[in-house]
Amino acid sequence: MIIGQSSAEKHFAVPSVKSCRTFNKSRLQLVFQQANSSQAAIAPRRRWYLLNLTSKTGIMSRLLHTTGNNMFSLAFGIGTQNRKEEWLEVYYPEPLINPSASLIATISSLTAYEGGNQALPLDPSSIRSLSEAVNIHSQKQILQQFRDASSPIVLTVLEHDSDLTSTPEAYLKLHLLSHRLIKPNDINLQGIFPLLPNVAWTNLGAIDLEEVEQARINARVSGKLLTVFSVDKFPILTNYFIPKGVRIADSARVRLGAYLGEGTTVMHEGFSNFNAGCEGPNMIEGRISQGVMVGSGSDLGGSASTAGTLSGGGNTVISVGEDCLISANAGTGISLGNRCTIEAGLYITPGTLVEVLDEKLEQVMLAKARELSGQDDMLFIRHSRSGAVQCRTNRQAIQLNSTLHTHN
């Protein structure tokens, strides 16, 4: 007896998963009858789902214990490995957030998945079985296309949003961000850098750095040229996914893992790191650093900058509110509320001394900028003669040109 069992649970003795593998058909029917008669009285935290499997040897069964639909994510992916069969990158056509219990049950019955966070290589036989059993149309289509793949296929299941443990897991979380299934800073990316290999991104795909020269020779011998576009841990977003309703003038300046809301325009000098982005619509001509989220309607001017947390010792995650303007060559190391403006060429660091002015433009306090972090309606300017940084009430919110952001 388990402490906390209801009377129905005591009556309904559920066998172990291991013992289910030896059930015969009549025993299965008995279990179904017991389950149906007692289901209403069984506590939700101890729900059991019985899955029948058909094989060449007859009917098998597997009993899956679940605490409800609390699975974080899963996806079927196709990727690249080096000669040591180490993952270099993974492409997930359609990642899922909070997949259904029935899909998890199907996957558990046909693969080696036994819970937790796992990246499972799939052989042709498993891919074929899954393509026949999975009843989600989009996922079924993906699996059917994977049947004849020459590249390695992987099933990545994340039961929990915990620290990363593998390259396929890292790529899945980057996909979730760029597919707008989760927002920056709402996902655990701890441990991502050691798991992303430094890769040569070429016109022939991702290549291990130790294998580039041989690949270059092989290309030449076959009458081709190998072009290396970059050497980096993070790939280009648009090589994996194009978010709906966005314009990106230079695709190399937006990494996989960037969150770009619908209506966003990223101009040639704009940049968005992973785990960063904007709600949309937005005009991005400056830099959105890791961890920074920009609110709807805001404009980052040419070469404007936002302070991230990856280097320089900063550990404060900042955000930019709605309808803000960070003018050309300006920047911020503090959070901005809604309707804030920073004049061109002015960088506000947390320690910047700011003269706070009232409605009559008289100084009411001298504060460090961090004390103003997150406030609405701030206008940061420099006094034209003294050079002092001043904060006034911003009486005019910026407005984006709708024609630039509604026909993407």
Give me the active site residues, please: 285
Edge to edge, the sheet with strand 378-382 lists 247-248, 265-266, 283-284, 299-300, 325-326, 341-342, 378-382, 389-393, 353-357, 363-368
Burial of 317 from C-beta contacts in 10 A (0-12 / 13-18 / 19+): middle
CA angle 320, 235, 278 (to 5 degrees): 15
- Residue 253 gets which letter from DSSP? G
Edge to edge, the sheet with strand 347-348 lists 271-272, 287-288, 305-306, 331-332, 347-348
- Nearest to 379, CA basis, from 367, 394, 399, 366: 394
Q: What are phi and psi of 393, to 5 degrees?
A: -75, 125
Residues 236, 252: contact at Cβ < 8 Å? yes
- Nearest to 233, CA basis, from 211, 206, 204: 206
User: What is d(CA 120, CA 245) in angstroms, rounded to the nearest whole number?
Assistant: 34
Burial string for 257-272 (b: 16+ CB within 10 Å, else e) reads bbbbbebbbbbebbbb
Element spanning 172, H or E: helix 167-178
How many other C-beta atoms lie within 10 A of the C-beta of residue 40? 7
Token pair 């001509």: residue:
285
